[in-house]
Structure 1
Amino acid sequence: MPTFSFATAIIAFIVSVYGNDCREYSLTPSDQSLIDMMKHYLHTSRKANIPVAHSQQDIGVTYVRWGKKTCPESLDIVYAGQAGGNLYTNKGGGSNYLCLPSDPENGKVTTNDNDGLYGAEYDIWSSNKPSGFRSSMLQKEVPCAVCSRTGKVSVLMIPGRKSCYKGWKSEYNGFLMSQHKRYNQIDFICMDGDAEPLDNRSANENGALFYPIKAKYGSLRCPPYKDNTEVLCTVCY
C-alpha cells in the first residue's frame, strides 16, 4: 500500500478516536485491524531503511601483479597466468594488457580474420634493461597473477615513486612499462622489479610487448623529474 494511504488512514483514525471520549472509546474489529496493519508497515519500513553492515571479510580489492606468478604474502591469489594483449603492429583492437588465466575455457573455432589476442614478451635488451632487473629476459613471455586483499576498498598504482604516501602501504614496486613509442598505444603498467619469465622458452614471437619507460624533459617538469631516467612505480593499498 502506498505511503500516502497509510498517512491518510492514521489521520482519519486519530480524528475518529479523539472526536470521542478516549476513556470510554472501544475499538471495533476494523479499528484493531487498522492498528495492526500500521504496526506491520512501520516495522517493515524501518527494517528496509536500515543500512546493512558488512564485515571486513566481505570487503576487498583485486589487482594484477605483472611479471610474477604469485601474490605477496598474506594475500589470496585469484588466478595466475600469462600476460597478453594486442599484436604490437595492429592499428585497431584492444589497447590494454590482459592477465590471461592458465586454465582457459576455449570457445569454438572461428574463421573471422580479427586475430587480436596474443601473448606478451619482455622486449628488454642490455641497452634498455632497468637497473636491478634480471638479465636474459629478452623475448621471454611474461607471467602475471591476480591478487585479492580483503578488508580494503581501494588499490592505487603510483608512477614515479617506489614508496607509498602516508597512510598507504606498498604491495610491490618496480618499473613503469608499456609499448614502444613506434608501435600501437597501450596502457602503462607497473612491472614488478623482481619480474621473472613465464618459463624457459625464448623465441622472437612478438605479440604484445613490454618496454621500460624513461622520463623526458619538456612538458614534464625537470625538476622535480629528471631527464632520461627510469620511471619507478609502486602499487599501494
Structure 2
Amino acid sequence: MSTLSFATVVVALVVSANGHDCTKYNLTPSDQSLIDMMTHYLHTSRKADCPVTPSQHDIGVTYVRWGKKTCPENSDIVYTGQVGGNYFSNKGGGSNYLCLPNEPENGNVSSNSDEGLYGAEYQINNSNNPSGFPTNLYNKEVPCSVCRRKEKISVLIIAGRKSCYKGWKSEYNGFLMSSNKNHITSDFICIDGEAEPLNNRSSNEQGALFYPVRAKCGSLRCPPYKDKTEVLCTVCTK
C-alpha cells in the first residue's frame, strides 16, 4: 500500500474516532493498534525516503603504498603485507601486482597446476639504481601497505611527476617500476622513493620482479620528456 493510501486510512480512522459532529468516541484496542501501526509505517517510510548523508569522518579513499610497511602521516593503515604477482616468465596468468596481507586466510590444498601467485623482488643494482633510491635492495622482497586517507574523495596516481597539481596533496612520491621489457607484461606501479625490504632475507627466487622504468623518446614527445631518464611518480589525493 502506498504512503498516500496509508495516510488516507489514518485520517479516516481519526475522523471516525472523533466523529463528524466533534463528539469524542472511545477507540477499541484493535482500532488504536491499527492507528499506531500505520503511524509507525508513515514515520519509517518517510525516513527511508530521505537521503542519508555520511559524516565527514566516514568519507575517505584508499591506496597502496608500494615498497613501505607504513602509511604516510595523516593516513590510517588498513593492513600491511608483501607484494605478490605472476612469475616473471609465465606466458599466462595475472598481469597486475597485489598487496597481499600478512595474515592470510588460506584455502585448501589444490592439485591445480596453474601456480600464479609469487612474491615480488627488487631487481635493482648499481647499474640501474635510480638517483636517491636505496642501494641495498637487490633481490630483497617487496613490502606494501594499504592506506586510507580520511576526508578525501579522490585518489590519483601520476606518472612523470613527483609533485601533485594545484588542489591535490601528495601522499608519497617515488619511481615508476614494472617488469623487465623481456618478461611478461605487468602493471606500472609507483614504488616509494624511500623503499625498504620486507625483511633482511635476500634470495633469488624470481617470482614477480621490479625494474625501474626509463623514458624512451619517439612516439613519446621529447621535449617535454627526456630520453633514457628515470620516470618519477606520485600518489595524490583530493
TM-score w.r.t. length of structure 2: 0.83
1:132 alignment partner, SS class: coil
- Contact 2:3–2:45 under 8 Å retained in 1: no
CA distance in 2, matches of 1:99, 1:229: 28
What is the identity, as a one-letter code, of the residue corresponding to 2:157? Answer: M
1:98 aligned to 2:115? Answer: no
Point out the more displaced range, 47-56 or 112-121.
47-56
C-alpha change, 1:211 and 1:46, in structure 2 (3 Å) is same
> Cα offset for 1:236?
0.7
Secondary structure at the aligned position of 1:156 is classed as: strand
Give ranges in structure 2 of 5+ residues lacking alignment. Answer: 13-19
> Paired residue for 2:198?
198
The reply to whether residue 63 of structure 1 matches residue 63 of structure 2 is yes
Relative to the length of structure 1, the TM-score reads 0.84
Q: Percent identity?
A: 70
Q: Distance in 1 between matches of 2:181 and 2:4?
A: 64
Q: What is the Cα deviation at residue 55 of structure 1?
A: 1.0
Counterpart check, 1:74 vs 2:74: yes
Q: How many residues align?
A: 228
Taking the TM superposition and a 5 Å limit, the aligned residue runs for 1:163-202 are 163-202=163-202
Matched to 1:85, the amino acid is G
Partners of 1:75 and 1:35 lie apart in 2 by 51
Corresponding residue SS for 1:107: coil
- Write out aligned runs for 1:1-237 (5 A): 1-2=1-2, 43-237=43-237
Measured in 1, the distance between the counterparts of 2:83 and 2:38 equals 60
Deviation (angstroms), 1:40: 6.6
Corresponding residue for residue 15 of structure 2: none
The RMSD of aligned alpha carbons is 2.7
The runs of 5 or more residues in structure 1 that have no matched partner are 14-21
In structure 2, distance between residues paired with 1:36 and 1:58: 35
CA distance in 2, matches of 1:141, 1:97: 13
* Separation (CA, whole Å) in 2 of partners of 1:203 and 1:69: 19
How far apart, CA to CA, are the structure 2 residues paired with 1:67 and 1:80?
Answer: 11
Q: Which moved more, 1:80-89 or 1:47-56?
A: 47-56
